[in-house]
Structure 1
Amino acid sequence: NDPRIRVSIIPYAEAVNTGSLADTVFVETEMGPKVPPPIDAAVPVSATVSDNCATERKDKDGYADYSSVGPYTQRRDNQGKIYLAKVNRDYRVKVCPTATLVPLTADEDKLVTAIDHFQAGGVTAGGIAAQWGYYMLSPSWRTAISSARLGAGPANFDRNRVAKIAILMTDGQFNTAFAGGRGASRSQDQGQRSRANAENICDNMKRDGIEIFTIGFDLNDPAMTATERDQAKSVLKDCATDDTSSLKHYYEAANGAELSHAFGEISRNIEKLTISR
């Protein structure tokens, strides 16, 4: 029987380490194309590098792609050639997190071990984190995940039978992005791009029936400016599913005890959601 509850974890900093899903990544070069080579290219191009990291997926014009389509989906480039919709590793990435993502699993020991090895550090690419959270809940990624022998992959979207939940947590302002959305101002800085990307991806997740809870951890840290604090809280509130009379979706936690309490309350809210379905 399928396990009743499965959990995925997406650690992130400047990028997301895809681990055994490295085949889904297209590695950019500074002067090279921003989409993978055509599938009928005469010379095969390696899809991975040793760090297995990924940033935003880009469309054929270099804009951030907010969809959850699978990495083996066929698309056409600006020359009409067919390529696979793999996820970019921007050439400007400097530091790849060592902690790798964990696709949906019911193996509690595996999840706890992954968390125990987390180390804080680096910048905060929140839009990239939201993107990979979306992928790990999207049935379009089932083939890639199962082919990598990382489990059965996500179930189909079915609001009446399957509750899909995303919890997005950050301890700081989203401040890193390598691609902006189509139509976005070219004057956007990395923080503006990261927050806009996250909000657009969250909108798509919610349209697909994914319930989103968000947690801001230690956002009242005096090291943050008032503007940084307001921006961090704003994107988390925008990403979260709207509250109802019985369900709260946005949380703040100032310390470990409050963080544990927030996760406990979210767990109870998820139980309410599953019972109602």
Structure 2
Amino acid sequence: MVLRKASSPAFTPPCPSQTRPRSGPFIAHLARFRREDSGSVAIIFALMFVALGLFVGAAVDLGRWLQARHQTIAAMDAAVLAGGRVLQLDDKDVTGARATAYRYYSENIKGRTPLVEDTITFDAIEDNTAFAAMGNAYMPTTFLNLARISRLPLLNLSESHFSKVDLVSTGGSQGDSSIEISLMLDVTGSMSGSKITDLKLAAEDLVNIVISDSSRAKPVRVALVPFAEGVRLPQSALSVARGSPASSVTVGSGWNKATYYRAECVVERKGNEKYTDAAPGTNTYVMTMYNSSGRCGLPAADEIVPLTKDKTLLKSRINGLVLSNTTAGHIGTAWAWYVLSPNWNALWNTANKAAAHGEETEKIAILMTDGEYNLQYDTNGISTGSTGAGSAVNGSSTDQARALCTAIKAKGITVYTIGFALGRNSTAVNTLNHCATDPSKAYTPENGEELRETFRNIALKINQLYLTH
């Protein structure tokens, strides 16, 4: 028997339909595209890529443009505000304002996308009552250049002044309101030497900033209230404020007896209205000052100046201030209130009368002193400690000042305080802190330059610059 090896069945390859996945519509379309030999589809496809590339490139250019525009506008705004502040301090220093504006602009555009052209300039306009930026800046394009757009303007060409500030008070926190400011100034003996010189310069700065000669400015009036042992009123206002006091008073007895004579100054008010702004009259007059000489330590040069917009007069009276004696700060505080109160208008001429309290008038008191309040009066208007004098009719000068400040603020009057070179005098510091409307309005400059900066700071807060576009 012959054994034969069984043969394996012949291998049959699988049918393609059994191993390949179905190509689907996409593969079919791709195959037809490969076989297409007319060229039209390839051209369309290429054009689509060009359009898509331009779209993406335009987005890149516009992103760079938007960033450069924002940086340029912010730099212009900062420059215009800085230049405007220079002109607020001196409306004739246009050159200095321009230089300051360019310096701020240059500093704030560092890192900006390089430009093909920048024609932005800064200058005073409208008779130096406004400061503005003019011109334009252009950014070169990269991708948009393929569409024949070689540069993009960063600013709206229809706007002649993209950034601008008005240097005169035309609005502010109270809209179109007028402003009345009382400026209490310490002219006591401790202000001798460079301190009184510094005060005069600082007060002049404030007047220059807040009062504008422009007809576009909102009405701003300032009153001056110099004080020392009391305050001195214009002769025409004396009888209205104090009535008809006796020419002399005799107090005490025996070795403690003394006669005092009526002086031209007035001191505090006693009675139920001592801490109000009720109009003066019977039982509500302020007391007259009595002393052994019958003369007021404050000369005529230190008379109160009621509210006025006469910048020349105010600066002349500030420059003419003369130093006197001790510090009855509560009396200065009271009169810083009275000159702002319509209840006391009988003392003044029509042009000097205070407006009624309300939203249409912003009233501000600035209280400046260089020391602790330390002089008060008895019921006869004689300073305590004098021979035969009684005790203080209303308590200490410090306590009276604090009570008056509380009442002033309750009337809606904004109070700024300036304690000049107070050092470690905590009583004086605490009194002024109490009087200020809030901590941001209490200042303690220690030298002349800081004092000037303080007055400027307050003036700039009162006469704020607002950007207009």
> Residue 318 of structure 2: which of 104, 115, 136 is its match?
115
Q: What TM-score comes out, normalization by structure 2 length?
A: 0.44
Q: For the structure 1 residues 208 and 87, does the alpha-carbon distance in structure 2 shift closer, same or farther, using more than 3 Å as the test?
A: same
Aligned to 1:30: 249
Q: TM-score, normalised by structure 1?
A: 0.72
Relative to structure 1, the CA distance from residue 4 to residue 198 in structure 2 (aligned partners, 3 Å threshold; closer, same or farther) is same
The answer for the alignment partner of 1:200 in structure 2 is 403
1:108 deviates by: 0.7
Paired amino acid for 1:52: E
Give the count of matched residue pairs.
225
Query: Secondary structure of the equivalent of 1:6?
Result: strand
Partners in 2 of 1:189 and 1:67 — Cα distance? 18
Q: Which of 338, 345, 353 is equivalent to 1:153?
A: 353
Q: Kindly report which structure 2 residues correspond to 1:214-253, keeping only aligned pairs within 5 A, or say none.
A: 214-220=417-423, 226=424, 229-243=425-439, 248-253=440-445
Q: Which residue of 1 aligns with 2:274?
A: 65
Deviations 1:169-210 (A, max 9, x none): 001111111159xxxxxx987996101111111111101000
Q: Which residue of 2 aligns with 1:15?
A: 230
CA distance in 2, matches of 1:93, 1:230: 33
Q: Aligned residue for 2:365?
A: 166
Q: 1:14·1:93 contact (CA, 8 Å) conserved in 2?
A: no
Q: Residue 39 of structure 1 aligns with which residue?
A: none
Computing the radius of gyration from Cα coordinates, the structure with the larger value is 2
| 1:97 and 2:298 aligned | yes
Give the letter for the 1:209 counterpart: G
* Structure 1 residue 120: Cα displacement: 2.7
Q: Following the alignment from structure 2 to structure 1, what is the Cα–Cα distance between the partners of residues 308 and 410?
A: 24
Encode CA deviations 1:47-101: one digit per residue, 9 max, x unaligned. x96x531000122xxx7811111224xxxxxxxxxx2632111324864311100
Label 1:89 to 1:274 Cα distance change in 2 as closer, same or farther (>3 A): farther
- Percent identity over the alignment is 31
Alignment partners' CA distance in 2, 1:142 and 1:164:
15
The CA distance in 1 between the partners of 2:319 and 2:436, in whole Å, is 26
Instruction: Verify the 8 A CA contact 1:203 1:239 in the aligned structure 2.
Output: yes
Question: Is the CA contact 1:165–1:210 (under 8 Å) kept in the aligned structure 2?
Answer: yes
Name structure 1 gaps, 5 residues minimum: 33-47, 73-82, 181-186, 221-225
Structure number with higher helix proportion: 2
Q: Structure 2 vs 1, CA of residues 84 and 192 (structure 1 numbering), >3 Å: closer, same or farther?
A: closer
Q: Which moved more, 1:129-138 or 1:111-120?
A: 111-120
Amino acid at match of 2:280: P
2:270/2:394 contact within 8 Å kept: no
Cα-to-partner distance string for 1:152-178 (whole Å, 9 max, x where unaligned) = 4100010x2211000000011111111
Cα distance, 1:213 vs. partner? 0.2
Unaligned runs of 5+ in 2: 1-214, 252-260, 380-389
Describe the shift of the 1:107–1:257 C-alpha distance in structure 2 as closer, same or farther (beyond 3 A): same
Moved more, 263-272 or 131-140: 263-272
Aligned to 1:178: 377
- Per-residue CA deviation, residues 102-151 of structure 1 (Å, 9 max, x unaligned), is 000000111111111112331111000001111000010112213xx6x3
The answer on 1:56 being equivalent to 2:268 is yes
Maintained 8 Å contact 1:127/1:195:
yes
Q: Check the 8 A contact 1:64/1:179 in 2, yes or no.
A: no
One-letter code aligned to 1:71: P
Which whole-Å CA distance do the structure 1 matches of 2:222 and 2:422 have between them? 26
Q: How far, CA to CA, are the matches of 1:126 and 1:155 in structure 2?
A: 25
Q: Tell me, what secondary structure is at the counterpart of 2:249?
A: coil
Q: Is the 8 A contact 2:378 2:391 kept in 1?
A: no
CA distance in structure 2 between the aligned counterparts of 1:71 and 1:204, rounded to whole angstroms: 17
- Cα deviation, residue 3, structure 1: 6.3
Q: CA shift at 1:8, angstroms?
A: 0.3
Instruction: Please provide the CA RMSD for this pair.
Output: 3.1
The answer as to whether partners of 2:265 and 2:289 remain within 8 angstroms in 1 is no
